[in-house]
Structure 1
Amino acid sequence: MPTRTAAQLREQAARDYDAFMAECPARHLLDRIGNKWVSLILLGLAGGRQRYSDLSRRIAGVSQKMLTQTLRSLERDGLITRTVTPSVPVRVDYELTALGESLLPLVEAIQDWAEANMPKVDAARSRYDAL
């Protein structure tokens, strides 16, 4: 087996989807789905099709710009679909794709874990801050 350079090893790792490599597409996807707005949007769409305005009201603190950018990135990644209905005003709906649905149980599990363990995290923070 021939010896490979570090650059060749990095290229191979990127092709093999090694998220520890900076160039790996899976790493970029992990970065995307780890975003708080992505998680909240996916959870918001768990109940089915939602209008933009409904998502905006449901997700406290998200700006119009951030919601729009995040929805576009999720659509680009194939996790949601966007449906425009010509009317006055124009109606825009979003819903999870099959790929988005497959990610949902993982996001829901993280939400459940965070909500169940928040008291322990608060206690740990208090202990740490008291030092």
Structure 2
Amino acid sequence: MFPAENLRDWRGENVVDPQGDKIGDLEAVYVDTVDDEPAFATVRVGFIGRHRLVFVPLAGATVSPKAIRVRYDKKLVGNAPGIDLDGELAAADEPAVFAHYGLPYQAGPTGARRLGRR
């Protein structure tokens, strides 16, 4: 995995699926609060006036000039739990983000939230 600092440099760049189809633009990186490693990204999707941010796992993602390629299909990502452009992910909504991708979820130490925005 690449450092979270490097991913911040990609804000606004394309996020594509394994086939190279554009999903949207990278908005933010969320790290796992247990190990401070990049875990999810929010991707800006939608049409003019109807944008939202959806979450996509960064495990297995690769970077190339002007794009981040994730392991998940555009349709799956587009249907992922999301937040408004100016919203934030509530701790109670974290399990649904993981479940959407079939990933196990366990709260951080002492029940703390698992994802933190960087």
Hey, which of these two has a bigger chunk of strand by percent? 2
Hey, which of these two has a bigger chunk of helix by percent? 1
Same topology, TM > 0.5 = no
Normalising by structure 1, report the TM-score. 0.24
Normalising by structure 2, report the TM-score. 0.25
Higher relative contact order (CA 8 A, sep 6+): 2
